[in-house]
Amino acid sequence: MRLIEMRPTRYTPAHHTADLGELVCSNSLKGMSPNTAAGLLKSEMAMLGSVVLQTAHRTRVAAGGSLAVDRDLFARTLTQRIEGHPRIEVLREEADALPDGHTIIATGPLTSPALERVLTRLVGNELLSFYDAASPIVLGESLDEGSLFAQSRYGKGEGDDYLNAPMTREEYDLFYDALVAAQRAMPKDFERMELFQACQPVEEVARTGRDALRFGALKPVGLTDPGTGLRPWAVVQLRAENADRTIWGLVGFQTNLTFAEQRRVFGLIPALRDAEFLRFGVMHRNTFVEAPNVVDPTLTLKDHPCIRLAGQITGTEGYLEAAASGLLAALNTWADITGHESVILPKTTALGALIGYATDPATAHYQPMHVNFGLVPPLAKRVRGKQERYAAYVERACTDLAEWCAARPDLELPMKTDHE
């Protein structure tokens, strides 16, 4: 196997070392609690033999309930393990073309211009994004049903394509004042120009005038609140993000607010007062493909059967999610080479649900996504308590994955949930 890494020959604006696995933002790999989506993903990665997860545990630092690492030791240890592997050749050069044979492209969110051109030729410019402007998404069952009504503007579509969160004039004024005063997360210099030429954050639109949003993303025209029989003063529309309609995106709410401010300010919308945010809005430089139209469930390019994508370039958002998709791409490549069945995990698992969402042609308005329980299929029997429901998701996932692993001896998986 040959691994091509352009550093130290060439660096991205965010990297500072030549180590593989350099963490450019936080040193946290999310929480360890077993009854969370992030905790479940770690259990699944352990069962699938993730070297990245093993290295994280070996270089862990104290961080309460989170898996945080000594970032330098983590990257250095991972680099040593890969460079010392007898079957891996590491080439330190920039790739401006793809090699023949089985190839995995895992270039992260800051793909070099040379490889961006290669990707453009492979998938088409219209299916490749160079910035990430995503609105928040929330768990449907955490919304206040009494403050919502299902309706499409002027009765178009199916009639319930959107959920509408109405606001009175007083509620809108409170929301507006908080929005324009909220703290923003400033992008880095290399992100700023392209980002703000591409689209405007909701808070920037609001700053152009108190009624700007009422004539834009929050316009109430064509809608009638059945509770009052009147047109609301302003309306936040939510659009289903998956076929099960369990997760909903806030339409037109791309934002550059900090995550804490998003929770506080958007919580002023009556229907979202207790909303569980599965993904906060983000706006930053990011290279990723429109995965549902580009890759199949094995992460193979639909028109190029020897090429797979992995990591953040597929829209799997987060360190562990990126590593997990890389592991899945590698297992599928191995299955291809050895003539075995493709590796498609049960959709009841955290990773199976994430990849299923990212590669489902029915997924519309695709934006990068991190692992969350809103993506997994509903339980056969409804469980009301959140913690009890999450525990049931985890039990189902671990059972299904253990059975799946046992049926795949060709992959030589460790099938263990403890960590090295």
Nearest-10 crossing angle of helices 37-47, 350-359? 100
Bridge partner residues of 343 (DSSP) = none
**Nearest in space to 162 (alpha carbons), one of 268, 252, 60, 277:** 252
pLDDT of residue 153: 79
pLDDT at 418 over 50: no
pLDDT (0 to 100) of residue 144: 96
Enumerate residues 6+ apart whose C-beta is below 8 A from 181: none
In the chain the first and final C-alpha atoms are separated, in Å, by 25
84 Cβ partners below 8 Å, 6+ apart? none
Rounded to 10 degrees, the C-alpha dihedral 30/32/33/38 comes to 50
Under the banding of pLDDT at 50, 70 and 90, the label for residue 415 is low
Question: Which residues 6+ apart lie within 8 Å of 204 measured at CB?
Answer: 196, 256
Specify the length of the chain in residues. 420
For 272, the token pair is 């979202």
pLDDT above 70 coverage of the chain, percent:
92
pLDDT mean across residues, the chain: 89
Instruction: Tell me the β-bridge partners of 4.
Output: 91
Do 301 and 313 contact (CB within 8 A), yes or no? no
The pLDDT value recorded for residue 104 is: 97
Q: How far apart are the C-alpha atoms of 323 and 299, rounded to whole Å?
A: 13
* Confidence (pLDDT) at 193: 47
Which token pair is 360?
A: 């489902």
| In 77-127, beta strands by DSSP E | 89-92, 103-105
Q: 176 pLDDT exceeds 60?
A: yes
Task: Choose among 226, 237, 229, 235: nearest CA to 169.
Answer: 235
Would you say residue 189 has pLDDT above 70?
Answer: no
How does residue 12 score in pLDDT terms, banded at 50, 70 and 90? confident
Lowest mean pLDDT among 19-33, 72-86, 136-150, 337-351: 19-33
Say how far apart CA 159 and CA 8 lie, in whole Å: 55
Q: What are phi and psi of 212, to 5 degrees?
A: -60, -45
Please say whether the beta carbons of 275 and 142 come within 8 A: yes
Q: How confident is the model at residue 419 (pLDDT cuts 50, 70, 90)?
A: very low
Q: Give the amino acid at 326.
A: G
> What angle in degrees, to the nearest 10, is found between the helix axes of 319-338 and 37-47?
30
222, 159 in Cβ contact below 8 A? no
Cα separation, 94 vs 417, whole angstroms: 37
291 closest CA partner among 299, 281, 280: 299
Beta strands in 189-312 (DSSP E): 234-240, 247-250, 277-279, 282-289, 300-301, 304-309
Mean pLDDT of 199-206: 85
Q: What are the phi and psi torsion angles at 252 (to 5°)?
A: 75, 20
Q: What are residue 309's DSSP bridge partners? A: 105
Interatomic CA distance for residues 61 and 99, integer angstroms: 39
Q: Kindly report whether the peptide bond that precedes residue 305 is cis, defined as omega within 30 degrees of 0.
A: no
Task: Give the integer Cα–Cα distance in Å for 195 and 401.
Answer: 40
Instruction: State yes or no: pLDDT of 113 exceeds 90.
Output: no
pLDDT for residue 198 = 45
pTM value surpassing 0.85: no
Question: How many other C-beta atoms are found inside a 10 Å radius of the C-beta of residue 305?
Answer: 12
Residue 382 has pLDDT above 70, yes or no: yes
- The pLDDT, as a whole number, for residue 252 is 87
Q: What is the pLDDT of residue 158?
A: 59
| Sign of the dihedral defined by the CA atoms of residues 195, 201, 203, 207, in that order | positive
Grade residue 30 by pLDDT with cuts at 50, 70 and 90. Answer: confident
With H, G, I as helix, E, B as strand and everything else as coil, classify residue 121.
helix
Amino acid at the residue 163: L
Query: Which structure tokens are listed for 52?
Result: 């990245």
Cα(68)–Cα(77) distance, rounded to whole angstroms? 15
pLDDT of 237 > 90? The answer is yes
**DSSP letters for 1-48:** -EEEE-TTTS--TT--SS-TT--SS-SEEEE--TTSHHHHHHHHHHHT
Q: Residue 272 above 50 pLDDT? A: yes
CA-to-CA distance for 178 and 81, rounded, in angstroms?
49
